């Protein structure tokens, strides 16, 4: 350890040296490790360290590694080998890949048509509730609280294709014949979307309810002065005011549905005859179900393509909506 006197002497010496040196080589005397510590640099670093380590090892490094790995052949025995675009070619030549793309698109489209407008309509109606408003929110949020695995397994039983199945019993009350639900190639995907919509709608409703309370009351007052009725106020005040949040929930929904895994994995495991095999299920199969060792290259190549596609989608949509709102 250096004493304080030695430190001052050292600092003075550095200062003298700096004067005698040419300007280009001049060392900055105020940037020694000791002054850094005394200015709180150490405690700053100590507080940043957990974040740096956890994000570094479990987020930044794996993200960077996935880009490298998509151009490599990785098995856990020998050193990784660079193979150029081979992994991407492998994915593109896999017939299941195109099936998975079509299925994922179909899932996303169905989820958009059924699941996107529903929470908005419900939230607008709920925001007008004068009594027991909390009860409405709690009931709407209950499906979100259930562990996703439990609700999928529960719905799997509800989707029992026998006439004694839960949903088929209910349909029977209305005189509708039993449906095959997840056992038919046609009905399986809509059944998955139905459960996914049920599980997610409550969360979106709560986001919209919060956004609705932040609409400035003066805007409604002003619309009334201009003679707007209830529909007029919804169309000219509420919806434009919610535009930002509607954009966010749309992007989040597309990003979420493009990565759907739990429903196809647990309900049908991709079946019947690959009618519900999605991109994420394919990534999982490439990497983790091959008994000869995972095809990590193909799995990362496919996930990277999906990520780039999703990034492009959000940029494109962001550009378009900005142009429309400028016009």
Partner 1 sequence: MTTTRTAHMSTDRTIISETDWKRPAVRIPTTVLHVVLLLLLIVVGLLPLLWLAKSAITPTQDTLQHPMALFPNGFAWANLAHAWNDVHIGTYFVNTIWVTVGEWAVQLIVATTGGYALAVLKPAYAKVISGLVLATLFVPAVVLLVPLYLTILHPPLVGTSLLNTYWAVWLPAGASAFNVLLVMRFFQGLPTEVFEAAETDGAGPFRLFWSIVLPMSRPILGVVSVFGISAAWADFLWPMLVLPNQQIQPLSVRLPAIASQTDLGVYLAALAIASLIPVVIFLCFQRTFLRGGGLGGAVKG
Q: 1 to 20, contacts with partner 1 by CB under 8 A? A: none
Asked whether the beta carbons of 276 and 268 are under 8 A apart, the reply is: yes
At its nearest, how many Å lie between partner 1 and the CB of residue 275? 20
CB of 48 to partner 1, least distance (A): 4
Which residues ranging from 67 to 96 are in contact with partner 1 (CB under 8 A)?
69, 74, 76
Site for partner 1 in 102-161 (CB under 8 A): 122, 124-130, 132, 134-143, 145-151, 153-154, 157-158, 160
CA distance 137 to 209: 9
CB closer to partner 1 out of 7 and 215: 215
In this complex, which beta carbon is closest to partner 1, that of residue 10 or of residue 83?
Answer: 83
Class of residue 279 by CB neighbours under 10 A (exposed 0-12, middle 13-18, buried 19+): buried
- Are the C-beta atoms of 259 and 280 separated by less than 8 Å? yes
- For the bound state, the minimum distance from the C-beta of residue 78 to partner 1, rounded and expressed in Å, comes to 14
Tokens 């290259």 sit on residue: 297
- In angstroms, what CA-CA distances link 128 with 96, 123, 219, 220? 48, 9, 16, 14
| In the complex, least distance from residue 226 CB atom to partner 1, rounded to whole angstroms | 8
Q: Which is nearer to partner 1, 10 or 75 (CB)?
A: 75
Of 10 and 198, nearer to partner 1 (C-beta) is 198
Site residues for partner 1, 249-308, by CB under 8 A, read: 249, 252, 255, 258-259, 261-262, 265-266, 279-280, 283-284, 287-288, 294, 296, 299-300, 303-304, 306-307
Give exposure, 4-39, as e/b (b: 16+ Cβ within 10 Å): eeeeeeeeeeeeeeeeeeeeeeeeeeeeeeeeeeee
Asked if 318 is part of the footprint of partner 1 (rule: CB under 8 A), the reply reads no
For partner 1, the binding residue among 2, 8, 15, 58 (CB under 8 A) is 58
Work out which of 2, 12, 63, 109 binds partner 1, going by CB under 8 A. 63
Question: How far is it, in rounded angstroms, from Cα 182 to Cα 268?
Answer: 7
φ and ψ of 72, to 5 deg:
-125, 160
Nearer to partner 1, 108 or 140 (CB): 140
**Which residue is associated with the tokens 């027991």?**
132
Q: Which stretch binds partner 1 (CB under 8 A): 83-91, 109-117, 180-188, 204-212?
A: 204-212
> First CA to last CA across the chain, in angstroms?
68
CA 216, CA 169: separation in Å to the nearest integer?
48
Place of tokens 């919804």: 234
Q: Which is nearer to partner 1, 238 or 277 (CB)?
A: 238
Q: Is 313 in the site for partner 1 (CB under 8 A)?
A: no
The minimum distance between CB 251 and partner 1, in angstroms, equals 9
- In the set 35, 59, 290, 325, which binds partner 1 (CB under 8 A)? 59
Nearer to partner 1, 95 or 227 (CB): 227
What token pair was written down for 257? 């549905």
Question: Under DSSP, is residue 207 helix (H, G, I), strand (E, B) or coil?
Answer: helix
- The strand pair at 72-73 and 81-82 is best described as antiparallel
Tell me, by CB under 8 A, how many residues bind partner 1.
112
40: left (phi over 0), alpha (psi -120 to 50) or beta: left
Which of 45, 312, 316, 320 forms a contact with partner 1 (CB under 8 A)? 45
Beta carbon nearer to partner 1, 154 or 320: 154
């Amino acid at each position: 350890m250096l004493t304080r006197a030695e430190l001052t002497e050292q600092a003075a010496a550095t200062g003298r040296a700096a004067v005698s040196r040419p300007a280009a080589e001049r060392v900055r005397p105020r940037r020694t490790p000791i002054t850094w510590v005394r200015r709180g640099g150490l405690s700053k670093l100590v507080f940043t360290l957990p974040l740096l380590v956890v994000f570094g090892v479990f987020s930044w490094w794996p993200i960077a590694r996935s880009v490298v790995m998509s151009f490599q052949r990785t098995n856990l025995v020998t050193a990784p080998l660079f193979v150029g675009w081979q992994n991407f070619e492998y994915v593109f030549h896999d017939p299941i890949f195109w099936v998975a793309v079509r299925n994922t698109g179909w899932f996303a489209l169905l989820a958009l048509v059924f699941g996107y407008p529903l929470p908005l309509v419900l939230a607008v109606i709920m925001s007008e509730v004068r009594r027991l408003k909390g009860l409405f929110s709690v009931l709407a949020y209950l499906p979100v609280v259930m562990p996703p695995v439990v609700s999928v397994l529960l719905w799997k039983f509800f989707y029992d294709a026998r006439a004694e199945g839960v949903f088929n019993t209910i349909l029977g009350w209305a005189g509708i014949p039993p449906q095959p639900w997840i056992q038919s190639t046609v009905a399986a995907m809509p059944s998955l979307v139905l459960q996914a919509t049920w599980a997610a709608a409550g969360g979106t409703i709560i986001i919209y309810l919060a956004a609705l309370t932040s609409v400035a009351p003066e805007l409604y007052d002003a619309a009334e002065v201009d003679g707007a009725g209830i529909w007029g106020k919804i169309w000219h005040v509420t919806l434009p005011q919610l535009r930002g949040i509607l954009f966010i929930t749309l992007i989040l929904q597309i990003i979420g549905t493009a990565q759907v895994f739990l429903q196809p994995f647990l309900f049908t495991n991709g079946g019947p005859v690959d009618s519900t095999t999605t991109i994420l299920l394919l990534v999982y199969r490439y990497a983790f179900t091959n008994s000869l060792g995972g095809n990590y290259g193909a799995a990362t190549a496919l996930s990277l393509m999906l990520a780039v596609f999703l990034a492009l989608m959000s940029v494109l949509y962001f550009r378009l909506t900005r142009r429309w709102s400028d016009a």
